Amino acid sequence: MTAPSWLSRVATIVLPIALAFAVALVLLQLAGAPPFEALGLLWDGSVGSAAKMSDTLAAWVPLTLAAAGLVVTFAAGLWNIGVEGQIVAGAVAATWVAREVPGPAAVLIFAMLVAGVVGGALWALLAGLLKTRGGVNEIFGGLGLDFVASGLAIYLIIGPWKREGVASTSGTDLFRPEAWMPTVGVAQFPVIPIALTVVAVVLVYVLMRGTRFGLRLKAVGKNPRSAHLLGIPTERYTLAAFLLCGGLAGLAGAILVSGVFHKLVPSVSGGYGFLGILVVLLAGYRAAWIAPIAFFFAAIAVGSTQLSLRLDLDSSLGGVLQGVLVLFVILLGGWRARRTRRRTALMEPEGP
C-alpha cells in the first residue's frame, strides 16, 4: 500500500459520504426541492442552534452506545441484530424501576440506569444462549427477540402499566419528576448521558485494543476453531460479548425513557439499534471511529425533520441518505477488496 493507512481510512469514509450527498442532491432535484437550500436546512436543523445541537446529542447518545456495544459483538464474529430488542428490554427494566422504586432523584436515576444495563444484558444473554446451546443463528434469534421485546413493551403499555382510565399506545403515564434525567441549560443538554457515552466508548476502545479479553475475543471471532484449540473457552467469550453489547444497549434504553420520553412508549428504540449496525459498518468495526460517525448520523436524522416542516418534503429523506451512504461504503470496500485480490493474483510468480 502506498498511501498511509490513516489517509486511505479517511478516504474510505469521505468518498462514500460525498457520493451519498451527490445522490441526495439528485433526489432533491427530482422531488422538485431546491437541493442546496435543503442541505442548508439540514445543517440548521441539526447543529444550527444550541437547542438543535442538544436534540442531536440526545440522539447521538443511544446511537453511540448501541454502536459501541456492537463493536464488541462484531469483534466476536457475531451479527447481534437483537440489539434493537436489547434497547427495548433496558427501557422496560428502567421503567419498572421508575414506577416501583421510591427514593430521591439521584438514587432513582442510578437504579434505573443499572436496571437498564441488567435488562439489556439478560435479553442479549438469551440470544447468546440460543446460539451457543440451541444452535440458533444469532441473526434469527436476535430478530425474533426484537419482536418479543417490542411485543412485551406494547403489552405493558396497554395492559398492566396503562394510563389511568385509558389504555393507549401513546405510552405509559409520565414518570414522576425524580425519574427524569437532569439536563443543563435552557437548551437542556443531556450532560450525564453524554458523559456515560464517552466513558462507554473509551472503555470499549481500551477493551478491544489493549486487553487480554479483547485479543481473545478477536481470536474467537476470526477463527473459533483455532481459538478453541488454543484453549480459549469460546462459549464463555461469545456470551461475554453478548452481555457487554446488551448492557450498553440496555443503558441506551434506560436513558431514552429517563431522558427523552420520560415514559415508556411502544417504539422506544426507534431503530437506534439497526442504525448502530450501519454506524459500525461505516466505522470499519473500530471503536475510535464510531463517535464522529454516530454524530453525523444523528445530525442527519434530527436535521431531516426540518425538511418536512419547511420544504414539505418527507423526513424519510434522512433515512434514505443514511442508507445510500452505507451502501456506498460497502460497495467501495468490496470494490477495493476485489482490486487488491486481482493485483496480488497478478504479482504471483509464474512457475519456477
Partner 1 sequence: MSLELLDIHKSFGQVRANDGVSLTIEAGTLHGLLGENGAGKSTLMKILSGFISADSGRIVLDGAPLRLSSPRDGIRAGIGMLHQDPLLFLPFSVLDNFLLGGGGGLRVDRDAGRRALEETAGRFGFAFDADAPARSLTVGERQQLEIVRLLWLGARVLILDEPTTGISATQRTTLFEVLRSLAAEGMIVAFVSHKLEEVEELCDRVTVMRKGRVVGESEMPAPAERLVEMMFGRVLAESEPTPPPFGEPVLEVGGVTLRERTLTTSELTLSVREGEIVGLAGLEGSGQRMLLRAAAGLLPPMSGRVRVRGRDLTGRGYREFLHAGIHYLPAGRLEEGLVRGLTVAEHVLLARGEMDFFIDGAAAREDARAAIADYAIVGAPESTAESLSGGNQQRLLLAMTPLDVRLLLMEHPTRGLDIESADWVWTRLLERRDTGTAIVFASADLDELLRYSDRIVVFFSGRALKVLEARETTGEELGHLIGGRELV
Residue from 180, 181, 190, 182 nearest 50 by CA: 190
Q: Which stretch binds partner 1 (CB under 8 A): 141-149, 186-194, 218-226, 273-281?
A: 218-226
Rg (the chain; Cα; Å): 22
Binding flag, residue 285, partner 1 (CB under 8 A): no
Planar angle of CA 276, 127, 68, nearest 5 degrees:
25
Residue 148 interacts with partner 1 (CB under 8 A): yes or no: no
Calpha distance 173→126 (Å, rounded):
29
Among positions 52, 131, 216, 263, the unique one binding partner 1 when judged by CB under 8 A: 216
Site string for partner 1, 232-251 (x = CB under 8 A): xx------------------
Euclidean distance between CA atoms 21 and 182, whole angstroms: 36
Nearest approach in angstroms of CB 221 to partner 1 is 9
Cβ-contact 247, 121 below 8 angstroms: yes
| CB neighbours of residue 123 within 10 Å | 32
Regarding 229 and contact with partner 1 (CB under 8 A), the answer is yes
Cell output for 196? 456515560
Count the neighbouring beta carbons within 10 Å of the beta carbon of residue 180. 17
The span of 11-19, 29-37, 108-116, 215-223 binding partner 1 (CB under 8 A) equals 215-223
Q: Which of 199, 200, 189 is nearest to 57 (CA)?
A: 189
Note the residue count of the chain. 352
CA 305 → CA 42, 73, 266, 279, 302, distances in Å?
A: 8, 32, 21, 20, 6
Query: Measured from the CB of residue 223, what is the shortest distance to partner 1 in angstroms?
Result: 4
Among 162, 163, 218, 286, binds partner 1 (CB under 8 A): 218
Stretch that binds partner 1, among 83-91, 131-139, 213-221, 292-300 (CB under 8 A): 213-221
Cα 13 to the chain's mean position, in Å? Answer: 18
By the rule CB under 8 A, 327 interacts with partner 1: no
If one asks whether residue 347 binds partner 1 (CB under 8 A), the answer comes out as no
Distances (CA, A) of 7 to 14, 19, 241, 285: 10, 18, 31, 17
- As measured in angstroms, the least distance from the Cβ of 229 to partner 1 is 6
User: Among residues 60, 87, 91, which one has the least CA distance to residue 263?
Assistant: 91
* Beta-bridge mates of residue 184: 189
Binding test (CB under 8 A) with partner 1, winner from 49, 170, 184, 222? 222
Amino acid at 77: G
User: Considering the complex, what minimum distance in angstroms separates the CB of residue 348 from partner 1?
Assistant: 5
343 makes contact with partner 1 (CB under 8 A): no
Residue with smaller CB distance to partner 1, 139 or 232: 232
Per-residue contact string for residues 161-200; x = within reach of partner 1 by CB under 8 A: ----------------------------------------
Q: At what angle do helices 5-30 and 287-311 cross, to 10 degrees?
A: 10
Q: Does residue 215 bind partner 1 (CB under 8 A)?
A: yes
Q: Toward partner 1, which CB reaches closer, 34 or 233?
A: 233
Residues 125, 98: Cα–Cα separation, whole Å: 24
Q: Is 92 in the site for partner 1 (CB under 8 A)?
A: no
Q: Using CB under 8 A, pick the residue from 29, 170, 223, 316 that binds partner 1.
A: 223
Contact pick of 219, 249, 254, 290 for partner 1 (by CB under 8 A): 219
* Position 211 contacts partner 1 (CB under 8 A): yes
**CB of residue 214 vs partner 1: minimum separation in angstroms?**
8
Confirm or reject binding of residue 228 to partner 1 (CB under 8 A).
yes
Query: Which chain residues interact with partner 1 by CB under 8 A?
Result: 210-213, 215-216, 218-219, 222-223, 225-233, 348-352
